[in-house]
Every structure is written in C-alpha cells, then in structure tokens.
C-alpha cells in the first residue's frame, strides 16, 4: 500500500533533506511550494530543481499573495540584516520573520493532505540552528497537530489524525549537512539565502544574511564544502 505525504519544499537545504527523509521512510511525497510575494522567486527555481533531482513527480506551487498584507523583510522593502554576529542570530525574532507564515503553509498542506488522503506532513523546521522564528518550535508543531485533529472532515468523521514530521527539528546545521551526505542528497541546487542576487535561472547567495551564515557554519563544522550556489 502506498503511503502519501505532503512535503513543504522551499528550495533550501533543510527542506531538500526533509524531502529525502520522506522518501527514505517509504512515502510517496507530494511537494508543496508557495509563491507568496517573496521578493525573490529564486527559491522556487531551487524548489523545482530539488524535486526534479529527487524524482518527485507531484510538485504544486500555490499562489498566495501575502505581500498584499505587508510586514516582513522577505516581502517588503525592509533591508535583510547582514553579517550579524553568531550570538545575535536566534536571539529574538528578526525582521525576516513573515507573520504566521508556517501556520499558513501548514494550513494549505493540511487541506491538500485531506484531498490526497495523506496523514503525514513533512516540514524542514529546525529548532537548534534557527533564526529565532516562533513557528519553528516544537510547541508550535504540537499545537498545530491538535488543531488539525478538529479541523478537517477526515479527522472529525473518520478519526484520521494528521502527523507533522519534522525530522530535522533537533539537528544542528552540521548534522543536517551530514544527513544530506548520508542520504545522497545533492545540495548544489538548494538556495538558503534570504537575499539572493543574480537571475532566477542562475541565482547566487548573498553570503551574509542569517541563513547564509548558518549554512556556512554548518558546512564548516561538518568539514564539508558547500556545493551550493556560490556567494557573489
């Protein structure tokens, strides 16, 4: 019997490894990405490449115009912070936080899971080397599962509980890099940068935002070279 899972895929390193974990666990993954008004749609190019590389056949990109509501450096004209010291990253919520983004993404994933008859949703959140986002923490995931258990017809009529699977939750960036190697995931097409430049087809990481710094540190600690999109 085939087990289907919805997988949130941003195009970053973490979601690529998460998708590979879903495959390794025997699921047929259905990848979900969003065009949510992010300043750069480069990450969608990366998401498509990640899915192609891993042989995922079903990849949907949902249009969702969060930029119409404003309020984040990822969708507005607020500058993305650069070269922040290690001890600053993860202390407090940064301006790159998009209000309720993971709640919104998981809600859409929940709806799609119900349509597909899937009971598992994979997402690449990480509570160790993270940027300080409230919706990347275990208590958030637990509250969402509790909501899901009363939100859908599948749950209420047929008792089908949805399980959030966040295999990277407790891993450091270095451990994620090593996990990618162990699973045979090529990280070359992934893009973790909050402020990429170049073109949509040939994006380059900025090398200085929180996401770039965390990624660099992860590769350094793992003793590996980042095959990804080089900094400009």
Regarding 60 and contact with a copy of itself (CB under 8 A), the answer is: yes
Cβ-based neighbour number of residue 192 at 10 Å:
29
Closest to a copy of itself by CB, 48 or 179: 48
How far is the C-alpha of 199 from the C-alpha of 220, rounded, in Å? Answer: 27
How far from chain centre, in Å, is Cα 43? 10
Regarding 71 and contact with a copy of itself (CB under 8 A), the answer is: yes
- The least CB distance from residue 103 to a copy of itself, in Å, is 4
Closest to a copy of itself by CB, 162 or 171: 162
Positive or negative CA dihedral for 28, 16, 38, 49?
negative
* Binding to a copy of itself in span 184-213, by CB under 8 A: none
Among 40, 53, 111, 206, interactor with a copy of itself by CB under 8 A: 111
Give the phi and the psi of residue 147 in degrees, each rounded to 5: -60, -45
Among 1, 85, 153, 225, interactor with a copy of itself by CB under 8 A: 153
Among 14, 114, 120, 195, interactor with a copy of itself by CB under 8 A: 114
Regarding 70 and contact with a copy of itself (CB under 8 A), the answer is: yes
DSSP character at residue 191: -
Regarding 103 and contact with a copy of itself (CB under 8 A), the answer is: yes
Among 57, 91, 146, 230, interactor with a copy of itself by CB under 8 A: 146
Regarding 64 and contact with a copy of itself (CB under 8 A), the answer is: yes
User: What's the number of CA atoms in the CB half-sphere (13 Å) around residue 138?
Assistant: 7
For the chain, report the end-to-end CA distance as a whole number of angstroms: 47
- The least CB distance from residue 188 to a copy of itself, in Å, is 28
- The least CB distance from residue 183 to a copy of itself, in Å, is 28
How far from chain centre, in Å, is Cα 92? 20
- The least CB distance from residue 33 to a copy of itself, in Å, is 11
The three state secondary structure string of 191-224 is CCCCCCEECCCCEEECCCCHHHHHHHHHHHHHCC
What is the maximum span of the chain, computed from C-alpha positions, in angstroms? 53
* Paired tokens of 174: 């270095």
Regarding 219 and contact with a copy of itself (CB under 8 A), the answer is: no
Regarding 63 and contact with a copy of itself (CB under 8 A), the answer is: yes
Closest to a copy of itself by CB, 69 or 182: 69
Residue whose entry in the numeric block shows the structure tokens 């949907």? 60
| Inter-helix orientation angle 101-116/138-151, to 10° | 40
Chain residues in the site for a copy of itself (CB under 8 A):
60-66, 68-71, 92-93, 97-104, 106-108, 110-112, 114-115, 134-135, 137, 139-140, 143-144, 146-147, 149-153, 155-157
């Amino acid at each position: 019997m085939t087990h289907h899972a919805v997988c949130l895929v941003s195009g970053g390193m973490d979601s690529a490894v998460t998708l590979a974990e879903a495959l390794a666990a025997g699921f047929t993954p259905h990848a979900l990405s969003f065009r949510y008004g992010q300043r750069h749609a480069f990450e969608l190019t990366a998401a498509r490449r990640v899915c192609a590389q891993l042989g995922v056949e079903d990849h949907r990109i949902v249009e969702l115009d969060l930029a119409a509501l404003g309020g984040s450096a990822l969708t507005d004209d607020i500058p993305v912070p650069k070269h922040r010291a290690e001890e600053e990253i993860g202390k407090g919520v940064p301006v790159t936080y998009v209000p309720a983004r993971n709640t919104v993404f998981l809600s859409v994933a929940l709806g799609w899971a119900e349509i597909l008859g899937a009971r598992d949703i994979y997402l690449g959140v990480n509570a160790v080397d993270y940027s300080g986002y409230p919706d990347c923490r275990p208590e958030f995931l637990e509250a969402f599962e509790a909501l899901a258990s009363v939100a859908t017809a599948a749950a209420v009529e047929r008792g089908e509980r949805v399980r959030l699977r966040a295999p990277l939750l407790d891993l450091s960036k270095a451990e994620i890099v090593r996990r990618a190697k162990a699973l045979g995931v090529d990280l070359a097409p992934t893009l973790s940068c909050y402020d990429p430049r170049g073109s949509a087809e040939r994006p380059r990481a900025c090398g200085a935002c929180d996401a770039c710094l965390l990624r660099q540190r992860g590769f350094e600690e793992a003793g590996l070279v980042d095959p990804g999109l080089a900094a400009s």
